[in-house]
Structure 1
Amino acid sequence: MDGCHMCIDALKEDVLAKLSQMLDNSTCGWRQLATAAAKHPRFQCSEKEMTACSLHVLNAAGSPARCFLAHLADRRCPLDFLSRCLTEIDHREAAQLISTTMAELIRITAQPQSQHSRPGSRVLLTCGASGPPGLTYQWFKGNEEILDQTGGSPQLVLFPLSPAHQGHYICRVSYGERYVFSQWAHVGLVCSAGSSPGCSSSLFPGSVSGLQVVLQPQSQVVSEGAKLRLECQAKANPPAQVQWYHNNKPLPQKKTPVLEIPCVTTEHRGEYSCKVYNLYHEVWTDAAAVNIEPSSVPGASWVEVEEDFDSEDDSRSHPPQQTSEESSSAKNFYATDKVALLIGNMNYLHHTPLCAPICDVHELTNLLRQMDFKVVSLLDLSWQEMQNAVAEFLMLLDKGVYGLLYFAGHGYENYGNSFMVPIDAPASYTSDHCLCVQSILSRMQEKQTGLNVFLLDMCRQRNFNDDVIVHPGPLRVTANIVFGYATCVDAEAYEVKREDTSNGIFISFLKQRVCENEKVTVMLDRVGEDMGRCAITRGRQALELRSNLSERRSLTDPIQTSDGSASQSARNHQWAVAHDLPKSQCLHFDCGVQVQLGFAAEFSNVMVIYTRILVKPEEVVSCSAQLTDFAEDVDVDLKKSNQDCLIEAGSLGLIEEELPSPDVPSLYTRICNLQRLKKELTFTVCLHYTYSNMDEEIQERLPVLVGKPLVSKLNLHERRPTRSFSTNISLDSLGFSECSSFAFAEGPALSGSMSNASSFPKETSRADSPAKLRSDNVPEETDCPEFFHTTELLVSSKSLPHTQVNETSYRFSDMCNFHSL
C-alpha cells in the first residue's frame, strides 16, 4: 500500500478521537468536510447518511464527525485526500494533525554516516527507512540535489572519490507530499598534509590565520597488551581542534592531541591519522602504521590525554590522566536534538536602521549548522511575527533538546529584564511593544530542555519610557541557562561598517570560537577575553556572561535520540516545513526558448529566484527572462531585481559558485519578508527576445505559481491566541553565578571578506584610525596578534575610505552604535 492509498482506517484510535473532536462544530466541521469530499463521487453521502450522522449528537458520547469519518473509511478514503479537503475548508489544526500523523509513518532506520577516504576510493552512503511501500529517496549535497543514477536510491555511490565530492550530504525520504530528512553526513578526503590539492581546505582563502602540523604521529610496532601512544601537534591561530581516525574511520570522542591505548589487541592494528582544523583551515597528518605483535592480553580501553596544542613549553606539567571510565562519564553529555532561532532586525520603521544583523545572522547560521543545529534564521520581524516565530521555535523543543536563541537589533534592559525590539515598535516603545527574553526562557523551561542559550547582540541601556516593574515570580532552578550579552548593563553594543556591509563586534569574535568543543561558559569566557584585547572597543563594549550551568555541556555535544521517536519526527517535519523550497521548473515559450527557473534560500524568510536560458533557437539572436508582477505581500526591490550577479541583487549570503551550473549566465531576483506572504507566491516570467531578421523586440509572458516557500507556510503574520512574551521575570531569581565583565586589552585581528569567505560570508570591521595586522602564528597564551592600534577617539561624523582586505594596513570609517534609546 503506497502513500496515496493509505486510508483513514490506518489512523490510531487517539488520532481519530482528536480529529473527531476538532470536526464536531458547526462553523468549520464535518458538514463542511462532507461538502468538500462530495466533489469526488466516491465519497458523496446521501441525505439519509448525513441525517444519521447528525443524530449522534443526541447521545452523551456520540460524535457526528466520528460517524462521518467511519463512512469515509468504509469507502477507503485516502489520507492524502482527507488532508486536501481539510485544507480546502481552512481547518488548519485538523490538517496539521493529519500531516503530522502521516509524517510519523516514515521513519529513518539507518542514518548515513560521515566518511573520510582517500582519493580514488569508493564511498557508499546508505539511508534506510521504514514506512509504506513506494518510498522515494532524494540525495542532496548541501542544497543541491544529486541527479545521477544513484541519487534516487537508498544508497549513494561516490566513485572515484575526488575533491569535488567533499561536503555535507543528506537524504530526503518521501511519499506523495510527505517526507522526512536523514541526518547530515560529511564526506572528506584523507591525505597527507599538503600532499595534493583539495585534501586540505581553507574556508577563508587569503586569511591571515594559518595552520601547520609540527609533530606527526609515528609508525610503530607494539606488543599485544602493551601501551600505544600516538601524538600530533600543530601551530594555529585560532587554536586548532583534532579528530583521530583509525583505518579512515573517525574514532568517537577522540579529539585530543595525544591518543593512548593502555592495552592494545590485534583489533587496534592498522593506520592512524589525525585531522587538524580550525575555522579557517583543515590539514591531515601523515598516516602512521601500527602493527601488533602476538601476545595473550585481554581487550583494551581508550584513554584521552588533555594537552594544549598551542603551548611551546613542553616542560610544563600536565594534570593527572583520567581513567577511561572517568573520562567517559565526564564527557557523556548529549542532546536529544538541537534547534536555534536567529533573528536579525535591521530596517526599523521608527528608529535608526542597522547594517550588521544580516551578516551576523548568516554567519552564525552556517556555524550552528556545522554542529547539527536545526536553524531558523529570520530578518526584519514585526511584533506579531516575532511572537509567532518564538511560538514556532518553542514547538521544536522537547525534553533534553538544546535550544539557542540569538537576537541582533535594538533592545534595552530594565530592572534585570531584557527586551528585544521589533521593527514596528513606536518611537516611545515600552515592554508592551517588545518581547521579554526572560518570559521566553520560562516557556522553554516548561519543555524541560537540556540547555538554554541566549545570545543577545543588542544594547542594554535603560528605557525611560517604560516604568513598569513586574515580578510574576521566580523561574525554576534548572542549572542549564546561559546568557551571553554582547555588552554590559547600561551600555551600548556596536557594529563596524565596511562599505555597504557591517559586522557586530560580538559576532566578529564569537565566530572564531563558537565551534570549540568546550563548555559553553568556557567558550564565551574566551570570547570575552578576545574582545577585551580589542583596542577599538576598549571602554565602550565588553561581553557579559550570566550562567547557572552546572554541567560541562557544549554546543558541539552529539545528538542521541531513539530511532523514529514521535517527537523527533515531529521536529524534523516542523523544521522542514519552514525550509521547503519550490522545485526548479523549466518553462517552454512559444518561440522555442526554454527557461530554467531556480530557487535558493538565503535566510528562512529570504529567497533568491534565478532565471537561465536553457534552449534558444538559432533564429533568436538575443533573449532574457525577467521576473515581474510579484504579490504586494512580499518585498522585492525593483531596482535590484533581474541582476546579473547576486551582489547586485542585494544578496550577501549566497555564493554563485555554490548554485547549480554556476557557469551558466543567470538573472537574480531577491524576495524578502516571505513571512508576510498571505497567499501562494505568484509572479510572471517575461521573455524579451529578437529575431535575426527583425529589429523590434518581442515579449512573451508566462504566469508562475510556486506555492508558499520557506517560512511563509507558518503564517507568522497572523494573530494567534498565545501567551505574551512581554512579561517581566527578574534574573535575580535564577541563581546565576556572578557576572563576568571583561576589561579590554589588545587582541587578535579579524579577517575574511565576502569575496573570500567561502560559505561563511563576513566582512571585517571598520574604525577611525589605521590598523596593522600581524600574521605571526604565535600561541595565544604567550602573545596575541593586535586587532587595532589606535589612540584616537572615534568620530561619528567622519567617513574614511578602506583598503583591500588582504593588505596589511587598514583604514576604518566611523564606528556606528547598534542602539540609541
Structure 2
Amino acid sequence: MGEPGRGAAGALPLRRLAQPLLRRLSELLDRAVPGRGWRDLAQRAGSRGTVRLSPSDLEQCSLKVLEPEGSPSQSLLKLLGDRGCTVAELVELLQGLEHTEALQCLSLAGIKIVVQPDSQAVLAGQVVKLCCWATGHPFVRYQWFKQEKEIPHGTSPELVLNPVNVNDSGFYICRVNSESSFVFSRWARLEVCDVQGASHEGFIGLPENKLHICIQPQLQNLTVGDALVLECGAVGNPIPHYQWFRNGFPLANGSKNIYTVTSVDVEHQGTYWCRVFNDREDQDSEKIEVIIEELSDLQEPDLLERSNHRPVGLLYYAGHGYENYGNSFMVPVDVPNPYRSANCLCVQNILKLMQAKETGLNVFLLDMCRKRNEYDDTILILDALKVTANIVFGYATCQGAEAFEIQQSGLANGIFMKFLKDRLLEDKKITVLLDEVAEDMGKCHLTKGKQALEIRSSLSEKRALTDPIQQTASSAESLARNLQWAKAHELPESMYLEFKCGVQIQLGFAAEFSNVMIIYTRIVKKPPEIAVCRAYVTDFALDLDVDPKEANKGTPEETGSYLVSKDLPKHCLYTRLSSLQKLREHLIFTVCLHYEYPGIEDTMDERKEVNVGKPLIAKLGLHHGFKTKNCLQTCCVANNPFHNQMESSPVASQYYIPSHCQPNSCPGVYHPNRMCAGNIRQLEACSCSGTSRILATRHEVQNDSRPVGKSNVPVETTDDTVELEFLLSNSLRFPEQQQP
C-alpha cells in the first residue's frame, strides 16, 4: 500500500510545507556542523541537477546573515521551492547529508494517521478487521504488533483475522514508518468470546457491531470460605465495559467481565447481575442468586487430612536482638529506651510453646545480634524445657557477636539470609544445609572475622525443610487460625473515582507485608478541554507511619518499597502505609485532584474522601497498648511531586489540621516512629564484587522503621489498557531507537 502513495506524497511541492516547519528546518540547517549546512545542501542540489542555483543565488542567501532575523537556510529553501523542488527530492538531499535531525523533523510532520484501529469484542469464528490508514511523505509503511511481538505478514493498513479465535485476544498496535522516523497508532483491544457448545445462529440478523451479551452469570451455591467467580461476556463495537451489582448497588471492584471474591462470607450472599455498556447502548445480564451456607460441623470426616509427619514449628526472625545469660531476646521496633527483657520476646519461651503443641521438628533461624544488653540485669528463671529431639538453632552469629546487613540502594539484606535463601529449597538434611550456608558465609570477605554462623542441633532423624508437612487434623482451632490469617491478607478492592470535571482516577492497593500496604493512583480518563491534571492521596491518620515527603512518588522505590516494586503496575503515583496493626478505626483518606484549563492561570481543586475499611492486619484489631492519635497527617501540596517540579528548592512540609481537632491535640510535625539506639557507631563502608555497599549491624539499622525481609506478593494487580499502552509502547520504540 506504500508505493501508490509514494507518487502523491513525493510530488508534494516544497513550498506547500507549513511555515513553522520551514522555519524549524531552517534553524537546523543554519546551526548544522560543517558538511550538513545550507551550503552543503545547495552544492548537493546543484551537483545532482535537482535545481539550478547560480553563484548570485548563493550570495543572496549568504547576505541574509546581515539582516536582524535573516536566515540563509530559509532563503535557500524558498529558492528550492520556487524552482519546483518537491518534498521527496529534499528528503533525498538530506539523506545524502546524513542530516537525521532534519529528516526526523520532516518525517514526523508529514506522517498523519487518519484512521485509527477500533477496540472491539467479537465471537470466536468471526472475521475481524483492524484498520490503520496514514498519509505521509515520501511514503509510509505499516507493521502490526500484538503487544510487543511483530505479526508476520502484518504489513498492510488492514489486519484481517479470519477466522478469529480466543488466542487472538489481546492488544494490537500499528507502527507507521516513513524514510527516517515512525509514529504509532493508538492501542486497540480485541476480546474474543468463545461460547462453549453454542452456535452463531442466535446472532444472525443482529446489526453489525451491536452490543450483545453472550455469556450470562450462573447461579452459585457456596460455603463460607469458598471462592466466588461470576462471569459475563459480551460482544460489540465500541468494546463493552462492565459493572457488577449486588442487591442493586454497584460493586467497587466490579469493573471487569469476571467478578471474584477469594473467600466468601455470609455477607456476600445476594442477587447479582452485570451491566454491560459502551458509548452507544447498554444491557443488563440475567439476575442470579448467590447463596452462602455456613459450616455446620468443623470435624466432618472429609475435612480431615492425614500425614506421616507431625507438625513443624518454624521461626525466622530478622531484626535487632540480644542475648543475656544464655537466653535470646527479639526486640520489637517500638520498645522504650532503654529496653529490658520485659519489653522483648524470649526465644526460649517460644520453643516451650512449640513443644506444648508436640511438634515433630522445631527450627529457629535467628538473624540478629547476640551481644549482651548492658541495661538488662534481669535473670529470667524459665520453666525447664522438655527433653525432645529434633530441635535446630541456626544463629546468624556467635554468642557475644553482632550480625550484619548489607545495605544497597535502600534495600537491606542480612548476611545470613543472603546465603541462606540461595540454599533454602535444597532437599538436604537441615543441619547439612546450614553447614553449607556457614561455609558460604565464611568466604564472604565483608564479614570475615566479624560474623560466623552458629548451629545447635538435637536432630535424631533425617529432617529437611523440604519434607512434606500436613496437619493430622483440621481442628476448629486451626481452621479459625487460618481464617484469621486469610483476613489479615485481605486488601481493599480497586476502585475508580469520578470527579465533577470529568476526570476519572483509579485507586489500587497492594500488600508488601500484612501490615504494610501500597496505595497507587493514576488518571485513566481526562476530558480534552483540561490541559493538565494531577492527583495525590493525603490526610492519613497519625496511627499510621506515612512520611509525607515519601508519599505520592513516581516509583515504589522512592517510597521505600523495594520488595514488590516489580509486581506493581507502572506509571502511577505510589504511597506506602506501614504499621497497619495500630489502626483502630477504618482507613479514611482524601484523594485530591488539581487541574488546569488552557489560558487560565488558576488551578482548580476537587477532593474526595475515601473509606476502605480495615485493610490487611488491621481487620484483626491488634491495636491494644498503642496510644491513640486523633489528628491527621497530610502528604501536603508543598511536598507532592507536582509542586516539586515547579519549585527550584525544597519546600518545608506543611500539615493540615482538620477542624474537629483541637490545636493542642496535634503533637506537632510528624516523624516516623524511630527508636533511640544506645551506642550507634558510624556505618562501615565496604565494597563487594566491585559494587559500593554499606555494612551495618542489626543494632545500627534499628532506626529504620521500614520492615525489610520476607517477600509478599501483592494480591491486586492491574492489566488495563492505559498501563499496557505505556509498557508496550516503550518496548516497541526501543528497536527503532537503535537504528542508525
- Kindly name which structure, 1 or 2, has the bigger radius of gyration based on alpha carbons: 2
Looking at both structures, which has the greater relative contact order when contacts are Cα pairs under 8 Å and sequence separation is at least 6?
Answer: 1
TM-score, normalised relative to structure 2 = 0.46
TM-score, normalised relative to structure 1 = 0.42
